[in-house]
Amino acid sequence: MTDFLRDLSPVQQSAVSTTEGPVMVLAGAGSGKTRVITYRIAHLIGTKGVPSKNILALTFTNKAAGEMRHRVDTLLGPGASSGLWIGTFHSVFARLLRDYIERLGYSRSFSIFDSDDSKSLIRQSMTELGIQQDAVPVNTVQGLISKAKNSFILPSEFHRNASDYNQQKAALVYELYTRKLRENNALDFDDLLIKPLELFREHPDVLHELQELFRYILIDEYQDTNRAQYLVTKQLAERYRNIFVVGDDAQSIYSWRGADISNILNFQDDYRESETFKLVDNYRSTATILTAANSVISRNSRQIKKELVPQGAKGDPLTLIEAYNERNEAEKVGERILSMHREKGLEFRSFAVFYRTNAQSRVLEDAMRQSRIPYKIFGSVSFYKRREIKDAVAYLRFIQNDRDSESLLRIINFPPRKIGDVSITKLRQFAEERGLTLYEAIRSAGEGGFPQRLLTALGSFSAVIEKLRETAVDGTVYDVLHELFELTAIPSLLQAENTPESLARHENLQELLSMARDFSDHNPDRGSLGDFLENIALASDYDETQESDNFVSLMTVHASKGLEFPVVFITGLEERLFPLNCFEPEQLEEERRLFYVAVTRAREKIFLSWAQSRYLYGQPQHCLRSKFIGEIDQSVLLGEGGRAVSRGGAPAAVAAPASASFRRPAASGSPAPETAARPATGGMKKGAKVHHAVFGPGIVVELQGKGSQQKARISFRSAGEKTLMVQYANLKIVP
């Protein structure tokens, strides 16, 4: 046996040593999959004498490829990896196409268009076809074309199967866009995957040549491959069938970007003579964490059965945190982090907080700042620095101060109004000549001899601003923001694009609306637009760039894949949030795999949290506990204070915070009322018993005003007296 193979476990040794024929390694979380791939490469070169040029190793990131190359050189000596074909799918196929692309009518000097270049060419194609972007957003078209290419659906097939309006228009664009790419002697990123397939189909001699070259093929993260990647590698491996794939079906979480779990599930059908090795020894997490992970993932039907086996200590049980609302949840997370930091000496870098959607970061960020806990957003930017949030806030700033020309310039084309830089320059000149502010110049543009098209666009913009200013006089921040979204249809436009990016931006805007509603509900006496903007300004001014690297990591669960932390918080464990809205069994199973990924990131301790109520689209909603909590082996799950957790959805009573604002510290409140409550309508009167989602039970002391402007002064049992806008407080009258 080669000496370096002694570093491996028996099953790892067997996987590495089985060099001939197809092999699948099911590598559970924390089981050392990268180690197996690199040792196999070293074994092929160092022991079997395989020339490095005959080995093709495909990864999904340049970092992973670099790490593999470095490990091979460490095992065999410097330069051992120099002849290897090792890299990402895109980089390796781009290299191949340089040698063979002339067979498809391109020159070897072809350009590779990035996403922005691609979008620009798609936009040109849409213009030539007379397809308006307000009818079909360019991002939607780009997403449909990309999805088709990754599934190896060429323009003619896509056109035949187009089933709705967007697909029909995208099919026309796809055909013209493909021609334009060829005219530009260019390929987009997706072409790097499908052009090899076209090459193999039209020139079998090229496929034969490459099959002879790549006698040993290794693929990392096989569960993340899409249709095109699957087809290319299957054809390359057809002659010698020495294909070695490593992956974990339980960590297949990228179907939304084209990954096809059936590639790994069907490997044994594709290669009936294949051998399968299961790496289940986990060197990362405690036994209790793995018990939780195994018990949840076992519920999936589409999987290759395996259970992770702990190689470490038993560890502490998972702790379930039950909160009254999302702000109370965030506060509890912060309190736990501070407690473990102070009492156990854990550095902030030991903690990670996961959430299902990017929009959830806002309330967690607020809590971190309030508790003076250093943090960083991993894989994204701070909520208040996201483009769509800055755009929406710029509207509010301009409504507050119409001399704010920076905000004006940010929003004048949000959403697009075709007011170009040349027009803005002329408006500035017009304003200077007449001694006007830029907005005054816009309002007076009819006197400046501007073309009618521009006057119409400026009139539309100023009409929106004036309507919002009118709403701001007597309305709440929520009223203004809701009116903004209605007048501009910005959220609807993002939703219509229906791309992962646009839907995430839509969620962020809805979270801003929820924040405004929350602020309006709980600050009726200090809830002006200026106060709201002051809060945001102070929050967005927070310096995230710490001088040290000692900070809590905040991230989506998707961003956490491949990482690990001593202590992990998995937040927002509620139905319709995590799992996210699921309409098909396959969707629920992917959500369950995503939860499995979150759990297996933790080395020592996990906190799970959920909130009984949460603002959604600006409205407070009652929440149900996530089914995933009930699927965990109850022997490894305890509630706060070490109490048992019921398997069903009935939660223990959760204390309400005394304040709804992060300006003041929270305090314990009382549990939900024992008696049933009904929504407060016109029956609100002095002396009525009511219940509030945050402040709990109380008695109406005084009513002020009528209709939509009515306020109620209420004495709450635990939170003291509060004055609330009845329209937005979501009060319930208790019999």
For residues 445 and 572, give the distance between their C-alpha atoms in angstroms, rounded to a whole number.
50
- Mapped onto helix, strand or coil, the DSSP state of residue 619 is strand
For residues 203 and 197, give the distance between their C-alpha atoms in angstroms, rounded to a whole number.
10
Clarify whether 357 is annotated catalytic. Answer: no
Annotated binding residue 127: no
Collect all residues with Cβ–Cβ distance below 8 Å to 79 and sequence separation of at least 6: 73
133, 140 contact by CB (below 8 A): no
Catalytic residue among 33, 147, 593, 605: 33
Clarify whether 33 is annotated catalytic. Answer: yes
Task: Output phi, psi for 23, to 5 deg.
Answer: -135, 135
In whole angstroms, how far apart are CA 258 and each of 190, 193, 289, 491, 578?
A: 11, 13, 30, 25, 21
Q: Return the biggest CA–CA distance within the chain.
A: 90
* DSSP labels, 651-716: PPP-PPPS-SSTTS------PPPSS--EE--TT--TT-EEEETTTEEEEEEEEES-GGG-EEEEEE
Neighbours of 639 (CB within 10 A): 17
- Mapped onto helix, strand or coil, the DSSP state of residue 547 is coil
Helical ranges in 237-286 per DSSP H: 262-265, 267-270
Rounded to the nearest 5 degrees, what angle is found at the Cα of 506, between the Cα atoms of 504 and 508?
70
Catalytic residue among 191, 221, 224, 589: 221
Q: Is the peptide bond before 579 cis (omega within 30 degrees of 0)?
A: yes
302, 591 contact by CB (below 8 A): no
In whole angstroms, how far apart are CA 534 and each of 397, 466, 511, 545?
A: 10, 22, 18, 22
In whole angstroms, how far apart are CA 728 and each of 172, 327, 475, 517, 520?
A: 47, 18, 12, 8, 8
Q: What is the dihedral of CA 489, 493, 495, 498, to 10 degrees?
A: 180
In whole angstroms, how far apart are CA 683 and each of 678, 703, 712?
A: 11, 12, 13
Annotated binding residue 34: yes
In the chain, the N- to C-terminal Cα span, in Å, equals 80
Neighbours of 107 (CB within 10 A): 8
Clarify whether 251 is annotated catalytic. Answer: yes
* Bridging pattern class, strands 318-325 and 309-310: unpaired
For residues 729 and 723, give the distance between their C-alpha atoms in angstroms, rounded to a whole number.
10
For residues 719 and 153, give the distance between their C-alpha atoms in angstroms, rounded to a whole number.
61
For residues 303 and 250, give the distance between their C-alpha atoms in angstroms, rounded to a whole number.
7
Annotated binding residue 80: no
Annotated binding residue 530: no
Task: Give the bridge partners for 570, in sequence order.
Answer: 354, 608
Catalytic residue among 2, 18, 19, 34: 34
Annotated binding residue 285: no
Instruction: Write the burial class of residue 400 (CB in 10 Å: 0-12 exposed, 13-18 middle, 19+ buried).
Output: middle
Clarify whether 425 is annotated catalytic. Answer: no
Clarify whether 221 is annotated catalytic. Answer: yes
* Bridging pattern class, strands 55-59 and 216-219: parallel
Catalytic residue among 306, 601, 603, 614: 601
Annotated binding residue 350: no
Catalytic residue among 229, 251, 357, 600: 251
In whole angstroms, how far apart are CA 424 and each of 290, 518, 525?
A: 60, 37, 40
Annotated binding residue 29: yes
Buried b (16+ CB within 10 A) or exposed e, 668-699: ebbebbeeebeebeeebeeebbbbbbbbbbbe
Annotated binding residue 49: no
Q: Which two tokens stand for residue 110?
A: 């072809």
For residues 92 and 95, give the distance between their C-alpha atoms in angstroms, rounded to a whole number.
5
Catalytic residue among 220, 248, 366, 507: 220
- Mapped onto helix, strand or coil, the DSSP state of residue 368 is helix
Clarify whether 34 is annotated catalytic. Answer: yes
For residues 218 and 286, give the distance between their C-alpha atoms in angstroms, rounded to a whole number.
31
Query: Which residues are identified as catalytic?
Result: 33-34, 220-221, 251, 601
Task: Report the binding-site residues.
Answer: 27-34
Residues placed in the known binding site for ATP: 27-34
